Amino acid sequence: MADTGNRLRNLLESPNFEPQSYVKQLSQQSDGDRDLQEHRQKIQTLADETAQNLKKNVYKNYRQFIETAKEISYLESEMYQLSHILTEQKSIMESITQSLLSSDKDETAKEMLAAFPKESEEVKQRTLTTLLEKVEGCKNIMETPGRYLVYNGDLLEYDADNMSQIQKVHAFLMNDCLLIATWLANRRGAVKYKYNALYDLESFAVVNVKDNPPMKDMFKILMFPESRIFKAENSKIKKEWLEILEETKKNKVAKDKNKKVEEVPTSPVRQEVSTNPFDKDEPLDSEELVDLSPEWIQELPEDLDVCIAQRDFEGAVDLLDKLNEYLKEQPVSPRVKELRVKVDERVRQLTEVLVFELSPDRSLRGGPKATRRAVSQLIRLGQSTKACDLFLKNRAAAVRTAIRQLRIEGATLLYIQKLCNIFFTSLLETAREFEMDFAGNTGCYSAFVVWSRSVMKVFVDAFSKQVFDSKESLSTAAECVKFASEHCKQLSEIGLDLTFILQTLLVRDIREALQSQKDIIIEATKHRNSEEMWRRMNLMTPEALAKLKDEMRSCGISSFDQYTGEDCWVNLSYTVVAFTKQMMAFLEEGLKLYFPELHMVFLESLREIILVAVQHVDYSLRCEQETEKKAFILQNASFLHETVLPVVERRFEEGVGKPAKQLQDLRKSSRSVRVNPDSTTSLV
């Protein structure tokens, strides 16, 4: 059979395989429908095996797929960086060319004047005013002195995610900013556009978008917290936009730089000598002591914008650390304050981006390690409290999502095992990641403890809904609580003990479950008592007798053999035996659920259950007239008082760690039944 399957597989995998010829040959060789059905079954089996192998290969390479996706994301970021580097290289080459061709400066200026005739500032401002009259909502644009129009034109804006067209816009490039206005299609009159956005030239970076049909003649503007893609009418206009944008940005930087260098005090103040011996000399020319001429300081705001747009958070924080180190011991001059204002704005933007990275709206996949990058950079920015709060909110959302996505299927205990594995594993990973990220911020540990209690409440809500609200048996509830408690104790490995919180949140449900089970046992015992005939049990078979002995031994009653008679008889009533098994099962399940807050509830439940059986025996002894039955009732009473009750007391003390005084008092007070069975005294 295997050889036939291999031959068929080799035949189908051969490069020269022709389906039509194969089917024709198969039809000629087949004796009838049965052969075709068998061959069809072989092909189907081979198809199933192939599908299974494909699934295995997919699962095997799943991690590689994930890593490949991450690499693609990193590659995209690197392409943005490469584009920025190429733009910088282009600027450097142009500056070198201009310095080398300084002798031809006049001729070059004439050529540029011929290509782009210069206008006076008044003409440019008048042109800008005329154009802006067509834009609704931008009357304050001209309030800035010295602002004039450099370039303008129609563009199409596209969605950065799916590359679908959004709207038609008109862009106005001025000497210090870029205005984007949307086109009003159904508007009549002079106003044709509506104000959309205004960007300072230092707040964005321009990136060329490689032509990839149907995406052609596009360029991207990177700014916080988003990027916008625009399409020009043709490649020539796109090139003009890129060149003029870059030239205008460069001119503004050079103009600001020259303005700062050329700043001189208009009225120098002669230093006066103070006669006060307590006065300290303060340098008046502090501005001259702070050297802000290095190129990296001049380009710092723009470099920070590029790093934020390209999600290079580490690079942005490194630049900020470098600046702080450079200015650490320098005096605060007006130029330093101006630089600080620009840098502080970028710090605010960077903080908002990092906060967005940690928001629960982002993808929660990847576990706690996926947040490490944003958390570490926020801590470096001095925002450890905010980083702690956002990290814990992110992990809380991840825990809720994981619990919500857990499917409720199969037995309750199986669901609880999955729930505990997911929750406590996530809690343990979060604790370890928190300890690693906030190792130097011990003040945040109290926030983690508060967070642990809040997510424990989420876990207990899901736990109680499945275990207690669905009215599962007490034995199932006991196993589920025991399983959760064992997982909770494992957190002590990292110094986190949440057992008390788990018990506090479960105490109400467990108390109700114990009381409900107590009521069920009492009701069942009363029902059996009403039908009591006080006859010996006949188990009919030795196997049944052996099984009953094993059950009693497992309950801790090792002296049960003395109550068995000849053949398969048991010298006890069926009611007393059934009560003993039910009572001992309740005791064992209650001990699994026990913690100090439930001590009195559990003890009183045991006392009430035992009291029902004792009262029944007391009543039967006082009412029975036959001597033989009375002796049998006394034998059952002796079994309860001398065998069952001491075992209950001993097992309770072993499980709880303290004696059951109420049960001891109950057993002592019920001795009058055996000492004086003719007494009319009741135990009630």
Give me the pLDDT at residue 649, please.
Answer: 86
Backbone φ, ψ for residue 328 (5° rounding):
-60, -50
Q: Are 506 and 464 in contact (CB under 8 A)?
A: yes
How far is residue 241's CA from residue 221's CA, in Å, rounded to a whole number? 12
Q: Angle between the 627-639 and 599-623 helix axes, to the nearest 10 degrees?
A: 170
16 pLDDT band, cuts 50/70/90, is confident
- Stretch among 1-5, 356-360, 543-547 having the lowest mean pLDDT: 1-5
Closest CA to 331 of 296, 295, 291, 301: 291
Give me the pLDDT at residue 118, please.
Answer: 46
Overall size of the chain counted in residues: 684
Query: Between residues 145 and 275, which one has the greater pLDDT?
Result: 145
Give me the pLDDT at residue 285, please.
Answer: 46
Given a cut of 60, is residue 231 above it in pLDDT? yes
Q: Enter the DSSP assignment of 369.
A: G
Backbone φ, ψ for residue 683 (5° rounding):
-85, -10
pLDDT digits (tens, 9 = 90+) for 98-146: 666 655 545 544 554 454 444 455 556 666 777 777 788 776 777 777 7
- Stretch among 101-115, 216-230, 305-319 having the lowest mean pLDDT: 101-115
- Stretch among 107-121, 164-178, 390-404, 520-534 having the lowest mean pLDDT: 107-121
Give me the pLDDT at residue 333, please.
Answer: 78
587-607 burial, b for 16+ CB within 10 Å, e for fewer? Answer: bebbebbbbeebeebbbebbe
Given a cut of 80, is residue 662 above it in pLDDT? no
Instruction: Cis check for the bond before 117: say yes or no (omega within 30 of 0).
Output: no
- Stretch among 114-123, 217-226, 231-240, 441-450 having the lowest mean pLDDT: 114-123
Give me the pLDDT at residue 315, please.
Answer: 87
282 pLDDT band, cuts 50/70/90, is very low
Given a cut of 50, is residue 561 above it in pLDDT? yes
Given a cut of 50, is residue 551 above it in pLDDT? yes
In the predicted model, what is the mean pLDDT of residues 149-173?
A: 87
Q: Which two tokens stand for residue 670?
A: 């019920």
Give me the pLDDT at residue 155, please.
Answer: 92
Give me the pLDDT at residue 273, please.
Answer: 42
Closest CA to 561 of 542, 548, 573: 548
Q: Give all strands (DSSP E) within 107-223, no chain letters.
A: 135-136, 149-158, 165-174, 177-183, 193-200, 205-208, 218-223
Q: Which two tokens stand for residue 208?
A: 């060329």
Closest CA to 180 of 208, 213, 204, 210: 204
Portion of the chain with pLDDT greater than 70, in percent? 84
Q: Are 128 and 149 in contact (CB under 8 A)?
A: yes
Return the residue matching tokens 């097992």. Answer: 651
Q: Give all strands (DSSP E) within 433-557, no chain letters.
A: 536-538
In the predicted model, what is the mean pLDDT of residues 478-482?
A: 88
Given a cut of 80, is residue 431 above it in pLDDT? yes
Q: Are 290 and 330 in contact (CB under 8 A)?
A: yes
pLDDT digits (tens, 9 = 90+) for 625-653: 788 888 888 888 888 888 888 888 888 88
Q: What value does the mean pLDDT of the chain take?
A: 79
Give me the pLDDT at residue 345, please.
Answer: 86
329-350 burial, b for 16+ CB within 10 Å, e for fewer? Answer: eeeebeebeebeebbebbbebb
Q: Enter the DSSP assignment of 532.
A: -
> For the residues of 75-113, what is the DSSP string, one character each?
HHHHHHHHHHHHHHHHHHHHHHHHHHTGGGHHHHHHHHH
How far is residue 389's CA from residue 385's CA, in Å, rounded to a whole number? 6
Q: Enter the DSSP assignment of 373.
A: H
In the predicted model, what is the mean pLDDT of residues 599-613?
A: 88
Q: For residue 519, what are the contacts with CB-CB under 8 A and spacing of at least 6?
A: none
671 pLDDT band, cuts 50/70/90, is low
Given a cut of 60, is residue 220 above it in pLDDT? yes
Give me the pLDDT at residue 107, please.
Answer: 55
Q: For residue 367, what are the contacts with CB-CB under 8 A and spacing of at least 6?
A: 398, 426, 429, 433
Given a cut of 50, is residue 275 above it in pLDDT? no
Beta bridge partners of 195: 181
Query: Between residues 102 and 271, which one has the greater pLDDT?
Result: 102
pLDDT digits (tens, 9 = 90+) for 63-73: 677 777 777 86
